[in-house]
C-alpha cells in the first residue's frame, strides 16, 4: 500500500468534491486504502481501482450525509480548505471553490459522481459507467440532467485570477476602512451572504441579500471582531480570495470566501461551525 501513497491527494480530490467535508473525505480515502490492502490482489491499475472504491464509498457516505443535512441547523456549507492545503489537494482548483461545491448540493449522489468524474476528472463514459454501476448511455442522460441543475443555479462567469485578486484587494480595503458606499459599489445588487454556524456558532438563520444590507452587516461584523480581540488575514479559501479570523488563542473562528464575477463580489460564504474549522492549522 505504501507504494501507492502518492495517489492519496488525487483520491482526496475526488472524495472532497463529492462530500464537501475534509474529515469525511479523509476517512473515505483511508477506507479505500484499507479495502485495497484487504483485497490481496494487485490490480492492473491501482489508481483506477482506488478511484473506483473511493467514489463508491463517497456515494454511500453522501447518501447518509444528505439525510443529516436535511435537519442541519441553518445553511450548510462545505468545510473550507485554506492556502497551501488547497494547492496540495486540488488537481483542478477552479472546481474547488465553496461556490461550486455549494452548487453541487443540488445533485443526487450519483449525479454528483457522474458530473465530477466526467467533467472534472475527465473519465471516459465507459469508465464512469463502470464506477457508478450504470450504462454509458444512462450516464450521458445523468450528466445532461446534472448540467441542467448546475446551470439553473450558476451565477458567475469565468474571470481571471488577477481580476479576482484585484477586486478582493479593493473590497477588503473598503471593508477595513469602513467605507460603506465604496463597499456597496463593489457588491452585486443582489449580493448574498451565506453563514454556516451549524447550531454551534452565531450565524444568520437565512442568507442575507442586497448590496446595502450586506455592506453594512460586513462592516458591523468586522468592528465586532476587532472589539473581541480577533485577528484576521487574507487567504486563499478553496482557491478563491477570502479571509480567516482567529481567536486570541490562535484557533480559526471564521473563514469567509468571496465569489467574484464581472468586477464585483456576488456572494460571501462564511463558515463558523467549529467542527468544520478544526482541521485548519494555526497561523
Phi, psi of 247 (to 5 degrees): -75, 165
The full set of domains in the chain, from first to last, is 2-153 (1.20.140.160), 161-276 (3.10.450.50)
**Residues 139-143: what's their mean pLDDT?**
97
To the nearest 10°, report the CA torsion of 134, 137, 139, 144: -150
Residue 91 has pLDDT above 80, yes or no: no
**188: which 3 cell numbers?**
452585486
Torsion 156-160-165-170 (CA) sign = negative
pLDDT digits (tens, 9 = 90+) for 151-198: 876 655 567 888 889 999 999 999 999 999 999 999 999 999 999 999
pLDDT at 90: 46
| Lowest-pLDDT range of 63-77, 109-123, 199-213, 245-259 | 63-77
- Residue 17 belongs to what H/E stretch? helix 8-19
pLDDT at 139: 97
pLDDT digits (tens, 9 = 90+) for 248-259: 988 999 999 999
**pTM strictly above 0.85:** yes
Environment class of residue 213 by beta-carbon count within 10 Å: exposed (0-12), middle (13-18) or buried (19+)? Answer: middle
Write out the DSSP string of 75-125: ---PPP-BTHHHHHH-SSGGG-SHHHHHHHTTS-HHHHHHHIIIIIS---H
**206: which 3 cell numbers?**
437565512
Amino acid at each position: 500500500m505504501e507504494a501507492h501513497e502518492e495517489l492519496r491527494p488525487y483520491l482526496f480530490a475526488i472524495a472532497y468534491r463529492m462530500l464537501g467535508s475534509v474529515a469525511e473525505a479523509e476517512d473515505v480515502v483511508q477506507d479505500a486504502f484499507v479495502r485495497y490492502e484487504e483485497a490481496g490482489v494487485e490490480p492492473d491499475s491501482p489508481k483506477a481501482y482506488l478511484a473506483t472504491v473511493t467514489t463508491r464509498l463517497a456515494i454511500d457516505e453522501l447518501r447518509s450525509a444528505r439525510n443529516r443535512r436535511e435537519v442541519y441547523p441553518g445553511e450548510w456549507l462545505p468545510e473550507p480548505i485554506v492556502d497551501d492545503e488547497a494547492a496540495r489537494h486540488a488537481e483542478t482548483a477552479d472546481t474547488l471553490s465553496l461556490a461550486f461545491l455549494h452548487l453541487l448540493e443540488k445533485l443526487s449522489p450519483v449525479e454528483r459522481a457522474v458530473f465530477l468524474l466526467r467533467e472534472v476528472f475527465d473519465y471516459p463514459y465507459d469508465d464512469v459507467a463502470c464506477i457508478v454501476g450504470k450504462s454509458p448511455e444512462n450516464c450521458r442522460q445523468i450528466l445532461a440532467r446534472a448540467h441542467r441543475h448546475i446551470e439553473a443555479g450558476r451565477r458567475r462567469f469565468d474571470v481571471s485570477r488577477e481580476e479576482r485578486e484585484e477586486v478582493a484587494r479593493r473590497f477588503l480595503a473598503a471593508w477595513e476602512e469602513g467605507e460603506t458606499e465604496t463597499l456597496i459599489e463593489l457588491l452585486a445588487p443582489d449580493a448574498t451572504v451565506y453563514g454556516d454556524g451549524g447550531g454551534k456558532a452565531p450565524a444568520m438563520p437565512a442568507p442575507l441579500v442586497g448590496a446595502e444590507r450586506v455592506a453594512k452587516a460586513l462592516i458591523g461584523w468586522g468592528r465586532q471582531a476587532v472589539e473581541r480581540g480577533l485577528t484576521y488575514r487574507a487567504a486563499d479559501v478553496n482557491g478563491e480570495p477570502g479571509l480567516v479570523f482567529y481567536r486570541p488563542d490562535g484557533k480559526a473562528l471564521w473563514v469567509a470566501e468571496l465569489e467574484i464575477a464581472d468586477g464585483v463580489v456576488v456572494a460571501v460564504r462564511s463558515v463558523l461551525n467549529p467542527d468544520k474549522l478544526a482541521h485548519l492549522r494555526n497561523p
